[in-house]
């Protein structure tokens, strides 16, 4: 892609985990990303940048997404910028309001995968004539063959204290057919690993009252659960952190911001297929 040809995207989202995941994914695909964590800052950014596309949350501090849309709708310049709504709500009345104010598409947070955002962005950019190499590449990723496992046969222990990310991954796993067991701290994770007989564990490292590395060490030292494969899922992405996780017995180590829920599920399938 030639310098200066990048598509400019403004991402307005106050949920930090989702913001990080989307921002990382978009930049990786070649988009130029500008982000804001509240509606007023987002509107100011949209006015300053005049992007090719806006990804907009609805419920935000200072100014909600519908107010941002109203300001854009009433501005002859900003009204031409396509907007995709990403919201916690999927209520018809909210979707209708957003559409009436010019939103071009709508995604419910708990149900979407970041790749779906990229697909919708590419489709929308085609209609505006501003599609670039980034949009083409992100819209048509080579489909990996997923490992052949029957999800209904497997229990996944998800250890994650961030409620948004836990709900997102849990719903994705359940939608695929997996049985999901949840834990929010180290003590609960050790107890459920021993009593719920999970086939695989997804383990966050930063947990309330516990160090995830210590939890991993205890899991691998306990003969009754030591053979359960563990995927570390963390924001800690330094080389020494990854090496430590693998050294302590993790089967794999995924950095949250670099992996979509869909990619995490693919890794779960892959490891289950090798382990059972």
Average pLDDT for residues 170-194, to the nearest whole number?
A: 93
In a domain, 146, yes or no: no
| Domain total in the chain | 2
In a shared domain, residues 172 and 215: yes
Report the CATH number that the domain containing residue 240 is assigned in CATH: 3.40.50.2300
Bridge partner residues of 86 (DSSP): 107
Work out the pLDDT band at 273, boundaries 50, 70, 90. very high
Please indicate, yes or no, if residue 144 is contained in any of the structural domains: no
Residue 225 has a pLDDT of 95
Task: Please give the backbone phi and psi of residue 143, each rounded to the nearest 5 degrees, phi first.
Answer: -75, 120
Give mean pLDDT, residues 87-96. Answer: 73
2 domain residue, yes or no: no
pLDDT band for position 215 (50/70/90)?
A: very high
Same domain, 263 and 162: yes
Q: Identify whether residues 135 and 14 lie together within a single domain.
A: yes
Boundary of a domain, candidates 107, 139, 171? 139
Domain annotation covers residue 231: yes
Average pLDDT, the chain: 85
Tell me the residue range of the domain where 94 lies: 8-139
What is the mean predicted confidence (pLDDT) over 131-136?
A: 51
Q: Name the percent of the chain lying above pLDDT 70.
A: 88
């Amino acid at each position: 892609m030639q310098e200066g040809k990048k598509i400019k995207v403004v991402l307005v989202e106050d949920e930090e985990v989702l913001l990080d995941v989307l921002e990382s994914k978009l930049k990786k695909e070649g988009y130029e990303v500008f982000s804001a964590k509240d509606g007023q800052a987002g509107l100011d950014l949209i006015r300053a940048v005049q992007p090719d596309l806006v990804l907009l949350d609805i419920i935000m501090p200072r100014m909600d997404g519908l107010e941002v849309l109203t300001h854009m709708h009433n501005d002859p310049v900003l009204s031409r910028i396509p907007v995709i709504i990403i919201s916690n709500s999927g209520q018809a009345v909210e979707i209708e309001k957003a559409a009436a104010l010019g939103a071009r598409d709508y995604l419910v947070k708990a149900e979407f995968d970041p790749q779906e955002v990229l697909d919708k962005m590419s489709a929308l950019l085609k209609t505006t004539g501003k599609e670039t190499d980034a949009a083409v590449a992100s819209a048509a990723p080579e489909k990996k063959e997923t490992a052949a496992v029957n999800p209904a046969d497997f229990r996944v222990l998800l250890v994650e204290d961030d409620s948004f990310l836990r709900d997102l991954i849990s719903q994705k796993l359940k939608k695929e057919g997996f049985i999901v067991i949840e834990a929010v701290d180290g003590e609960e994770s050790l107890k459920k690993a021993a009593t719920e007989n999970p086939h695989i564990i997804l383990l966050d490292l930063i947990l309330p009252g516990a160090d995830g590395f210590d939890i991993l060490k205890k899991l691998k030292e306990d003969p009754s659960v030591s053979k359960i494969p563990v995927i570390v899922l963390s924001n800690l992405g330094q080389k020494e952190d990854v090496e430590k996780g693998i050294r302590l017995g993790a089967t794999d180590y995924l950095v949250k911001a670099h992996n979509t829920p869909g990619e995490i599920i693919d890794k779960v399938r892959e490891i289950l297929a090798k382990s059972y």
